[in-house]
Structures are given as C-alpha cells and as structure tokens.
Amino acid sequence: MTITFVGHGYVGLVSAAVFADLGNTVWVIGHTPEKVNNLKKGIIPIYEPGLEEIVKKNIKAKRILFTLDYDEAIPQSDAIFIAVGTPPKSNGEANLSIVLDVAESIGRHLDGYSVVATKSTVPVATNEKVREIINEVKPETAQFDYASVPEFLREGQALSDTFYPDRVVIGTNAKRAADLLIKLHKPILDNDKVPGGTKLINTNIPTAEMIKYASNAFLATKISYANAIAHISELAGADGIDVLEGMGLDKRIGNLFLQAGAGYGGSCFPKDVRALIEIAKALGYDFRLLKDVEEINKDMMFSIVKKARNLLNQKMRKKTVAVLGLAFKPNTDDMRDAPAITIIKDLVEEGAFVKVFDPIAMENAQRIFANMNGITFVKDPYAAVKDADLSILVTEWNEFKEIDLKKVKKLMKSPLIVDGRNIFNPEDMKKLGFTYVGVGRK
C-alpha cells in the first residue's frame, strides 16, 4: 500500500519507519523545511534506539519519503494517518488546533478513496470534528472513511512496541475502512513474537479514543499508587520495595509500573491524565481519583528535594548538588514534564549550585534551562559528582547503574546520595561509606 503520516515526531516517524520496513511506500509530511531536509539525509530529530538505522535502510530502499507538500503525498495514499501533537492548554484540555489544521489540509488534497485515521491522542468526539472538516473542504469526487487508530508505543522501546504490540485498536464505523486497515496491519497481527499473539480490537471511534486515554491514565494511577505506598512504608518503618514486590507477585496486579521513584513524566502520562480529567468534567463527572494521581506525582518530585534537604541538615544554600539523569526515562532524550525539571528548579530556588549530566538529553535540557542561573552542564557523571555536597539520581540510565561508586565517593565532598529510582543496593552503599536514601526504603 501507499500510506502517509502527517507528523514526524515519536509516533509519526516510528510508525512510518515500521510500515515502510513491512514493505509499504510511506510518505511523511512535515512542516519545517530544515527537519524535512535532514530527514531526507537520514538525520533523525529525536533519539530512539534503532530508529536511525531503520529510517536510513528504508530511505535507501525508497520506501520512506519525506515532503513538505500535501499534494505530493495525499492524492496517491490509500491511508493517511494524523500523527501530530496535542499539547495541553493551560487548563489541561488537549489543544487540537494542529490536528484540525492538518485535517483541513488533508481534505483539500484527497483524490479517489482514502481512509483518514487519527493516531494523535485526542478526546472523544474529536474525530467527528475532523470528519466534518474534511467533508466540508474535500473535492466532490473524493471519497473517504474516517478511523481512530491509537498508538501505544513507549519511548525507548518504540520500535519493538510498534512491530510487536499487545493490541491493535481500529475504531471506525465503515467496513471498507476496517478491512483496509486490518490488511495494512496484517503483518503485525500475524507475528508470533507476542505471547498469545497481538489482539485486534475492531470497534467504534469513541471506544478507540477512550481506550488510549484510559490506558495511559491507569498506568499513571498505578505509578502514583506505588509511590504513595512507598511513602507510607517509609513512615511505618517498612521496606516499601519489598511491599511493592509482594503486591506485584499477585497475577491480578502484576509488577509492571509498580516501582517507587521520583514520579512520572514524558509526553503522554501528564498530558493524558490532565486531558481525561477535563474530558470527564465536560461530561459532568468529577474524576477525583485522577486529580489525586496528579497531586501524588507532583509530591514525589518535591519529596526528592526534601530528602536532599534533610541530608544537608536543611542547609541547601551554596551547596553543590549533582543531578544524574535529566530525561523523563532512560533511552530517550525527551524532557517533556521530566521530574528532573521540577527537582532542579527547586534546588536552584533554595540557593543550591546544580551540576547536571544525562547521556542523551543534554541539548534539550539546555534549551529548557537556558535562562536559569546556578546550573552547570558537565561532560560525564564523574564531572557532575566532583566536589558535590550531595548527588541525586533522577533517571535510571544503565550508565549510572554501572558507575564506579568508589570513584564517586572519592570525588564527592560529602558521600551523600538520594537515589530517586532505587537503582543502588542500600547495604552496598553503606559498606562503601555513603549516606544513602532511596524511595520507600527504610
């Protein structure tokens, strides 16, 4: 098939690369000339393990093509996917302006029959608005059906999640569209690398829209619940890590997303939790549970700074603090809503000098902190901890798990560590002479 993705962020570019690798001709429409020109050369604007290689492979095979022009890609496409951002407004609602603008541009360039599908995460009823816009502007001879095909990829594991997903959700009211989309996804649905196989959910559009929000909000809830239990365990003198492990061994609960830490971040969970709160509000329901999930997550970030303050006897001013890890999770350079942002800002506001390092996200972080004094970006983790009064581990990169702790202790002014991801063994840290504090650990 010939298909098009509008948008070349995590969702659009990863999905385009995967479907090209499965043998389709895939167009990717962007709106920034510099980025599109770079993509034509195989220069990727995001960090995702394996993505650069698969994009270059399919550029060489002429299966993935990048353009700024809708009229070059849309008329010849069997399926067109909207994969652009839906950033939150100040009140938490999803900003749909880009999605709606893209829908109009797609509609004006339709020719023959195509399926237009949304991959962007959008509130219930958005797809009906998109359908109406396309209907208003499309040529009279053009025909289309509309669908919602949400994505469930995780940054850092996006290629694997797209090639081998747990489920493929196709929401549409048109059989012709469903048949075409199922055919497109057949190589993914037929793979044998997912235990029990990839499940197909063929449903209506509102259900597909809700599945995405419900999934992300539940995972965020699970993380906040784990963090709340960890906090209570600390107060009770219990080992929160053992508590959570004991919970996770129950097959009804499972251990995924049940680890205590510095809180969740990224492009999905914070945005989608806020958006679902607003969706519920518009429907007349006060989603108090998700409001608490959001508050617990904020509290976890503040609690990391509180732990640091306690280790420094409440004297943060003019202390040097090393922050290891800036991205919201390992194997990505994504800084959107990263806990490190809140933690670093709090440290600086309390008068600390902060030295920071991340293996991948330094460039994005420098843009975020460009106008803030008191932050020094260094070349490696050892430069960060050198002469530090305290170190805070925020992102669980493998590089930090394998760090030479004896060297770290020698470099630090004071051997004080707050482990925001519980990657170190407390007994080992004690033997090495560190004063160590984790999350949920007694």
4 a catalytic residue = no
SS3 string, 257-285, reads CCCCCCCCCCCCHHHHHHHHHHHHHHCCC
Q: Write down the H helix ranges in 61-92.
A: 70-73
- Is the dihedral angle over the CA atoms 418, 422, 426, 431 positive or is it negative? negative
Neighbour order of strands in the sheet with 199-203 = 64-67, 25-29, 2-6, 79-82, 113-118, 143-148, 167-172, 199-203
Nearest to 82 by CA among 107, 99, 59: 99
Which amino acid is located at 198 in the chain? T
Contact between 262 and 304 under an 8 Å Cβ cutoff? The reply is yes
The rounded distance, in Å, linking the Cα atoms of 355 and 376 is 5
Which run of H or E residues covers position 175?
helix 175-189
**DSSP-derived 3-state class of residue 371:** coil
The rounded distance, in Å, linking the Cα atoms of 321 and 308 is 9
Residue written as tokens 């049940």?
258
Which run of H or E residues covers position 435?
strand 435-437
Contact between 122 and 209 under an 8 Å Cβ cutoff? The reply is yes
**Residues with Cβ < 8 Å from 348, sequence gap 6 or more?**
354, 372, 373, 374, 375
Among 268, 293, 327, 365, the one annotated catalytic: 268
The rounded distance, in Å, linking the Cα atoms of 123 and 91 is 14
Angle, alpha carbons 262-265-268 (nearest 5°): 150
Which run of H or E residues covers position 52?
helix 51-60
Contact between 94 and 270 under an 8 Å Cβ cutoff? The reply is no
Burial class (CB in 10 A: 0-12, 13-18, 19+), 361: buried
Positions marked catalytic: 268
